[in-house]
Amino acid sequence: MKRCILVGIMLLLTQVYAGSLTEIFFQPCPRAHSVMVTDTNDDRIVLYGGDDMNNSGVHHCDVWALDPVDRTWVCLEVVGQPPSDRTWCASVYDATEDRAIIFGGYYTGYFYNDVWELDLTAGSETWQLLSTSGTPPAPREAATAIIDPVNNRMIVFGGYDQTTSARNDVWELDLTTLTWTQLFPSGTSPGPRYAHSAVYDQVEHRMVVFGGSAPYMFAFNDVWELDLTDGAEAWQQLSPTGPFPVGRSRHFWAHNPSTNDMIIGFGFDSDGMSIWIYNDVWVLDLGSLEWRDVSNGGFAITARRGASAAFFPDDQFTYIFGGHVLASQYCFETYQLDLDPTAVYEYDKDKAFDNEYLKIETNPNRGPVKMDLYIPEAEVITLKVVDVSGRVVSTLIDRMRYSGHCIVVWEGTDNQGVRLPAGTYFGILEMGDQMVVKKAVVVK
C-alpha cells in the first residue's frame, strides 16, 4: 500500500519520523488561485498570477520558476506585453510548442475570455496574446482546461461567469487553427460548477472531473469522465470505490501519468453558516477507480484553499504552493508531496492559532460574532454559546466534522432565532476530551 509524505520546503519544519528538510528563503509572495504548470522541456515548474485580497486586493501578473532539484524559485523576466492582472485562470502546458496557454480569469469586477501564450523557451520567455477565431466561450473564472494531444486541442469546462452563474458548457480551442467551437457531448452532463478539478487520462483518452461548487449549494465530490473521441464526445458519471473525499472546491489537483493517478487535496466547503477548510490529500487511481486517503485524515499543517499544484515526473513528486486560510491569511509555502516514501514528515505544530483550537475574531463585537475553529482530527464536536448564568442559548454545531479550519458565524440569536441582548457570552468548543472556552462581548 502506498504511503504519503508531505514536505514543506519554505517553512522550517521538524522531522517527525526520519529524514531531513531544507528551508528556502526566496519565493513568490503570498497568494492564492495561481496557475502552475510543469515545463517538462526545461525541467521546472512555472507559476503565474494569483491574488492576495489581504494586500489591498492585489492581483499578480508575475511569473516564477521552481527548480525541484535545487528547491529554488526564480522570478522570470518575461518579455512582451503580459496579460492584465487576474486570478482563477484556466491553464494547460503544451509540450509540443513548449508553452503555457492561459484562458480567462477574473480581476475585481471583470471576467475575461482571452487566450494568452507564455512561450517557455528558457532564457527567452515571452508573452503573446493569441488571436482566436470562432465564437469564444463567455468570460469566466475558475474554469478548468486540459490538453487533448490526440486531437491537438484545448478543452475548457465549466467556470463562473459575469452573470454570477456557474456553468457546465464544454469548449474546444483547436491549437492548429486557434478556432473556438462549443461541444455538445452526449449523455447526462455534470451539474454547473466552478473551482473544480480536471485532468487528462491518456490511457482512456478522456477528461476526468472532480468536485467544485455552485452558488447556494454544498460542494460536490462526484467524479465524471468526458470521452474525448473527436465528434463523439460523451459524458458519464463514474462511481469510484473506497472511502472518498468530502465535497470541496478551490482544492489543488495534479496528475501522475506514470501511475495514472489523479491527486487532489486541501480546499473548502460551506453550508452558509460555517466554512470548512481541509488539509487532507486524496489519490484516485484512474485505472481501478479507487480512492485512497494518503494523508490519513489530514496533514498536521494549516488547512487552506486556493493552493496550486503541479506534478514533476523526474522525481515523481507533486509540488504545492500558496493558498489562503481565512480572508486575512494568505500563504507562500511550497510543499513537496511524495506518494511512496519510506518515512513521513510533517509540520511539527499540530494545532492552529498558537496552540488555540478556538478564537473569537474580535472583542468587543457590534455585529455577528465570528468564531475561528481548528479541528485536529475527524470526530464529533459541539460548539455552543452560553450566557453569564451558564445557560446554553445557542447550539451552533453538534455533529461529526472533518479535520481542518472552520469559521462559524453566530448572529447573536438563540436557538429560536430571537435576538439576544448585548452582554458577555461564552463560546464553548468540545471535542473528545478537549473543552475550550472563549469570551465574546457583544455591544450595541
Same fold, 5-338 and 358-442: no
Segment 130-151 shows an average pLDDT of 97
Paired with 372 in beta bridges are 359, 407
C-alpha to C-alpha distance for 56 and 302, rounded to whole angstroms? 23
Position 356 pLDDT exceeds 80: no
C-alpha to C-alpha distance for 54 and 328, rounded to whole angstroms? 5
Whether residue 306 contacts residue 333, with contact meaning beta carbons closer than 8 Å, is answered with: no
Position 6 pLDDT exceeds 80: no
Identify the weakest region by mean pLDDT among 141-155, 234-248, 420-434. Answer: 420-434
C-alpha to C-alpha distance for 232 and 228, rounded to whole angstroms? 7
Per-residue model confidence (pLDDT) at position 89: 97
C-alpha to C-alpha distance for 305 and 245, rounded to whole angstroms? 15
C-alpha to C-alpha distance for 208 and 210, rounded to whole angstroms? 7
Segment 149-162 shows an average pLDDT of 96
**pLDDT tier at 58 (50, 70, 90 boundaries)?**
confident
Closest CA to 402 of 306, 212, 265, 210: 265
- Domains of the chain by residue range: 5-338, 358-442
Q: Name the fold adopted by 358-442.
A: Immunoglobulin-like (2.60.40)
Which triple of cell numbers denotes residue 155?
A: 478543452
Helix (H) or strand (E) holding 102, with range, is strand 99-107
List strand residue ranges (DSSP E) for 202-258, in order.
Answer: 206-210, 223-227, 234-238, 252-256
> 349 or 405: whose pLDDT is higher?
405
- Tell whether the torsion through CA atoms of 298, 302, 308 and 313 is positive or negative: negative
For the chain, what percent of residues have pLDDT higher than 70?
Answer: 89
Per-residue model confidence (pLDDT) at position 5: 46
Go through the chain and tell me how many residues it has.
444
User: What CATH architecture does domain 5-338 belong to?
Assistant: 6 Propeller (2.120)
C-alpha to C-alpha distance for 94 and 96, rounded to whole angstroms? 6
Whether residue 241 contacts residue 223, with contact meaning beta carbons closer than 8 Å, is answered with: no
Give the burial class of 134: count Cβ atoms within 10 A of its Cβ; 0-12 exposed, 13-18 middle, 19 or more buried. Answer: middle
Position 88 pLDDT exceeds 60: yes
Cis preceding linkage at 364, omega within 30? yes
- Mean pLDDT, all residues of the chain: 87
Closest CA to 78 of 130, 28, 122, 27: 122
Dump pLDDT digits (tens) for 249-307: 999 999 999 899 999 999 999 877 788 999 899 999 999 999 999 888 778 788 899 99
Dump pLDDT digits (tens) for 311-344: 999 988 899 999 998 767 898 888 888 886 433 3
For the chain, what percent of residues have pLDDT higher than 90?
Answer: 61
User: What is the pTM (predicted TM-score) of this model?
Assistant: 0.81
